[in-house]
């Protein structure tokens, strides 16, 4: 029963696990019962060895000579990623980005349920977005606790993001997805991921500037 995971999987392994999870959903929809590491790899331009190595961090899910059972592997990965439960999510900052995320279907689909909206703008507080009433950010700690929030999405302006993440941690929330374009300082026990859309564009800008093709230099 005891899982003997020796090494901590890298962030890239986790990332690819999410990728495999999506591919498996497709493979399953297409009616396959079994899939090889080769097939899985081809669909994402990875190597079969990479796929097998990634999966081997978590156990032996395949059958030699046959491949992996599609449905079972998808379920195993879902469990590893924690997608077998629902997560209560709070969205802090109901501006442009925040509003967009409220109607982002992909979240609910994977079990992330936005249960709470917070803002500091009196004109927004009390307003209804997709059935949720925007609460006053001054009630942050109370509201996070009442709704048993697991993950906070921060979509406030850059200059207030640090103060928000401090409060969020204070309320015991350990998962934070930050969209504010700043580097936030967090306690060691908090998991923070920052999505900086401008930096993605800057990466493209770099590629287009260094006059090279993606392949060679």
Q: Which residues bind a copy of itself (CB under 8 A)?
A: 8, 11, 14-15, 17-19, 21-23, 43-44, 80-83, 87, 89, 96-97, 99-104, 106-107, 109-112, 150-151, 174-177, 181-183, 188-191, 193, 195-209, 212-215, 217
Residue (64 or 106) nearer to a copy of itself, CB: 106
Distance CA 27, CA 72 (A): 12
Q: Which does 60 bind (CB under 5 to 8 A by kind): a copy of itself, DNA, none?
A: DNA
Q: Which does 204 bind (CB under 5 to 8 A by kind): DNA, a copy of itself, none?
A: a copy of itself
Residue (22 or 38) nearer to DNA, CB: 38
Q: Which residues bind DNA (CB under 7 A)?
A: 10-13, 36-38, 46-50, 52-53, 55-56, 60-68
Residue (30 or 189) nearer to a copy of itself, CB: 189
Q: Which does 64 bind (CB under 5 to 8 A by kind): DNA, a copy of itself, none?
A: DNA
Q: Which does 183 bind (CB under 5 to 8 A by kind): a copy of itself, DNA, none?
A: a copy of itself
Residue (44 or 113) nearer to DNA, CB: 44
- Output the smallest distance, CB 203 to DNA, in A: 14
- Output the smallest distance, CB 211 to DNA, in A: 20
User: What's the Cα-to-Cα distance from 179 to each of 93, 96, 166, 171, 173, rounded to whole Å?
Assistant: 10, 11, 15, 20, 17
Residue (of 198, 200, 154) closest to 173 by Cα position? 154
* Residue where the block lists tokens 């997709």: 130
Q: Which does 66 bind (CB under 5 to 8 A by kind): DNA, a copy of itself, none?
A: DNA
Residue (19 or 36) nearer to a copy of itself, CB: 19
DSSP string covering the chain, please?
Answer: ------SPPPHHHHHHHHHHHHHHHHHHHTT-SEE-HHHHHHHTT--HHHHHHHHHTT---SBTTTBEEHHHHHHHHHHHHTTTS-EEEEEE--SHHHHHHHT-HHHHHTTEEEEEEEES-TTTTT-EETTEEEEEGGGHHHHHHHTT--EEEE-S-HHHHHHHHHHHHHTT--EEEE-SSS-----TT-EEEE--HHHHHHHHHHHHHTT--SS--
- Output the smallest distance, CB 201 to DNA, in A: 21
């Amino acid at each position: 029963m005891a899982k003997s995971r020796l090494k901590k999987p890298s962030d890239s392994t986790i990332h690819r696990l999410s990728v495999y999870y999506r591919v498996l959903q497709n493979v399953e929809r297409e009616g396959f019962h079994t899939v090889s590491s080769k097939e899985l790899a081809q669909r994402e331009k990875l190597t079969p060895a990479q796929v097998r190595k990634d999966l081997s961090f978590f156990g032996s899910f395949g059958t030699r000579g046959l491949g992996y059972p599609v449905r079972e592997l998808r379920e195993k990965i879902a469990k590893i990623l924690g997608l077998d439960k629902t997560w209560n999510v709070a969205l802090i900052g109901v501006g442009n980005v925040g509003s967009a995320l409220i109607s982002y279907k992909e979240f609910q689909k994977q079990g992330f349920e936005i249960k709470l909206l917070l803002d500091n703008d009196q004109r927004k507080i009390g307003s209804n977005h997709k059935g949720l009433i925007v609460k006053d950010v001054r009630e942050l700690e109370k509201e996070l606790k009442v709704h048993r929030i697991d993950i906070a999405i921060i979509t406030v302006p850059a200059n207030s993001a640090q103060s928000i993440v401090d409060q969020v941690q204070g309320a015991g929330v350990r998962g934070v997805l930050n969209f504010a374009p700043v580097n936030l300082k967090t306690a060691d026990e908090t998991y923070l991921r920052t999505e900086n859309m401008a930096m993605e564009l800057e990466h493209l800008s770099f590629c287009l500037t260094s006059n090279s093709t993606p392949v060679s230099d």
